[in-house]
């Protein structure tokens, strides 16, 4: 007799990031698929983490996260957005933003609840909703600028709607929410028992003098939101997997109930190091300028390519259209470029429930100049 298990996620395969990174390795391609920098983490930050290890901070910290790092987050949010959060009751350190997202969705969504999300959506939202017995309601963003179609969002609201997920700056498109978008979101959930999950992991990676419109700045939204952030994205240390969420006390206590049994807590010495490093605004305030230079460099290097860029106002991803170059679908094109041209990207269709194909590929420009130069040379020959 064969042992069998009924899959809770029968239609989910291996995440596209693992698939494309493996393909990049197998074909020795430049990996602009997975979103990670190929330049060094600050030597000062690594020194602070090492010192914490040597000073003996190697055992379990508090389930909420090290007190000093939560205090630093309080100061970062005050400095960046002039908002006050209580480090004790409203800030929790998690094993990356992905764990924060999973714990928040698991805490809020019950069987039969509907969750509105906007495609192309980051790929960890939908599975977490399904695992909680929720029903994902996917609404495509308006092309070509990936704006939220608020009229369609309004039509999608029902008495079963429990959660709306927004992401700004948006992965994969690089679109950014405006103050007007937050007005619309506020109107949408007013007087309804609907919560918001706001994924703001690229908060400091925003370009063209645009402000980051965090939901924390709106009292009405903040009162019903779990907001997700990432140290990994901000300090070029994606492999450390340290994120955090901010939420009002009543929501925080529910999300912490889940968090304590998913990871319990997050490694101590890195939290200690980050606490000190993050307390200096100089270590994050110029991040937007730094990455805007990378984006502009990538666009300049690829300007003679037949691939056409889609406007990107944040994140470290640039979408390029290959319309008119090939009739292949996005997955086929991404595979072809990896195997035959030596450059790996992410097909944007994987972020759509409908697998909508717009002949767009996502390229990560969080790379040193030499990598971008080599990548551009390949792209200009396509």
CATH number at residue 120: 3.40.640.10
- 209 pLDDT higher than 70: yes
Per DSSP bridges, beta strands 317-321 and 308-309 are antiparallel
Q: Tell me: do 241 and 327 sit in the same domain.
A: no
* CB neighbour burial string for 286-295, b if at least 16 within 10 angstroms, e if fewer: ebbeebbebb
1 within some domain: no
The confidence score (pLDDT) of residue 12 equals 84
The confidence score (pLDDT) of residue 4 equals 87
244 bridge partner residues: 93, 229
Three-state secondary-structure class, residue 161: strand
Q: Mean per-residue pLDDT for 341-365?
A: 96
The confidence score (pLDDT) of residue 145 equals 94
Q: Considering only CA atoms, which of 229, 230, 243, 11 is closest in space to residue 127? A: 11
Q: Tell me: do 364 and 339 sit in the same domain.
A: yes
Q: Mean per-residue pLDDT for 238-258?
A: 97
Question: pLDDT tens digits, residue range 311-331?
Answer: 999 999 999 999 999 999 999
Listed residues 247, 265, 283: the one ending a domain: 283
Q: Mean per-residue pLDDT for 247-254?
A: 98
Q: Tell me: do 152 and 25 sit in the same domain.
A: no
Question: pLDDT tens digits, residue range 21-46?
Answer: 999 999 999 999 998 899 999 999 99
Q: Tell me: do 245 and 277 sit in the same domain.
A: yes
Res. 11 pLDDT band, cuts 50 70 90? confident
Q: Tell me: do 88 and 142 sit in the same domain.
A: yes
319 bridge partner residues: 362
- 56 pLDDT higher than 70: yes
102 within some domain: yes
Listed residues 268, 283, 298: the one ending a domain: 283
3 within some domain: no
CATH number at residue 308: 3.90.1150.10
Q: Is the peptide bond before 326 cis (omega within 30 degrees of 0)?
A: no
Listed residues 283, 318, 350: the one ending a domain: 283
Q: Mean per-residue pLDDT for 1-16?
A: 85
The confidence score (pLDDT) of residue 13 equals 82
Q: Tell me: do 192 and 266 sit in the same domain.
A: yes
Three-state secondary-structure class, residue 260: helix
Q: Tell me: do 26 and 106 sit in the same domain.
A: no
CA distance 210 to 204: 11
Mean pLDDT of the chain: 97
Q: Mean per-residue pLDDT for 74-100?
A: 98
Question: pLDDT tens digits, residue range 263-298?
Answer: 999 999 999 999 999 999 999 999 999 999 999 999
Contact present, 349 and 274 (Cβ < 8 Å):
no
Q: Mean per-residue pLDDT for 42-65?
A: 98
Q: Tell me: do 53 and 194 sit in the same domain.
A: yes
Res. 3 pLDDT band, cuts 50 70 90? confident
In this prediction, what percent of the chain has a pLDDT beyond 70? 100
Question: pLDDT tens digits, residue range 158-199?
Answer: 999 999 999 999 999 999 999 999 999 999 999 999 999 999
Q: Tell me: do 256 and 223 sit in the same domain.
A: yes
The confidence score (pLDDT) of residue 1 equals 62
> SS3 breakdown of the chain: % helix, strand, coil, rounded to 5?
40, 15, 40
Question: pLDDT tens digits, residue range 140-160?
Answer: 999 999 999 999 999 999 999
5 within some domain: no
Range of the domain at 344: 16-41+285-379
Number of domains in the chain: 2
Q: Tell me: do 338 and 367 sit in the same domain.
A: yes
Q: Tell me: do 338 and 226 sit in the same domain.
A: no
48 within some domain: yes
2 within some domain: no
């Amino acid at each position: 007799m064969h042992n069998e298990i009924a899959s809770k996620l029968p239609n989910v395969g291996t995440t596209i990031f693992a698939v494309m990174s493996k393909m990049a390795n197998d074909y020795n391609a430049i990996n602009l698929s997975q979103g990670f920098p190929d330049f060094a983490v600050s030597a000062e930050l690594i020194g602070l983490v090492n010192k914490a290890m040597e000073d003996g901070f190697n055992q379990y910290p508090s389930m909420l996260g090290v007190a000093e790092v939560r205090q630093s987050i309080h100061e970062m949010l005050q400095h960046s957005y002039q908002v006050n959060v209580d480090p004790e009751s409203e800030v929790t350190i998690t094993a990356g933003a992905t764990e924060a997202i999973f714990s928040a969705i698991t805490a809020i969504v019950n069987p039969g609840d509907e969750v509105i999300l906007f495609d192309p959506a980051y790929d960890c939202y939908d599975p977490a909703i399904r695992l909680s017995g929720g029903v994902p309601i996917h609404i495509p963003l308006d092309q070509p600028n990936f704006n939220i179609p608020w009229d369609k969002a309004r039509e999608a609201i029902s008495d079963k709607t429990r959660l709306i997920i927004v992401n700004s700056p948006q992965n994969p498109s690089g679109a950014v929410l405006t103050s007007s978008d937050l007005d619309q979101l506020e109107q949408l959930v007013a007087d309804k028992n609907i919560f918001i999950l706001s994924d703001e992991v690229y908060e400091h990676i925003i370009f063209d003098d645009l402000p980051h419109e965090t939901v924390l700045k709106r009292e009405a939204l903040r009162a019903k939101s779990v907001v997700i952030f990432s140290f990994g994205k901000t300090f070029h240390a994606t492999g450390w997997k340290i994120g955090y969420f901010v939420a009002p006390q009543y929501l925080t206590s529910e999300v912490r109930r889940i968090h304590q049994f998913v990871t319990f807590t997050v490694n101590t010495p890195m939290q200690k190091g980050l606490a000190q490093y993050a307390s200096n605004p100089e270590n994050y305030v110029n991040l937007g300028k730094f990455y805007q230079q990378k984006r502009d460099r990538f666009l300049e290097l690829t300007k003679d390519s037949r691939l056409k860029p889609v406007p990107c106002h944040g994140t470290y991803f640039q979408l390029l259209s290959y319309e008119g170059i090939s009739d292949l679908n996005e997955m086929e094109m991404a595979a072809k470029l990896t195997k035959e041209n030596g450059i790996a990207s992410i097909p944007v269709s994987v972020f759509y429930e409908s697998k909508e194909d717009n002949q767009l590929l996502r390229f990560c420009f969080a790379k040193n100049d030499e990598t971008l130069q080599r990548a551009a040379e390949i792209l200009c020959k396509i």
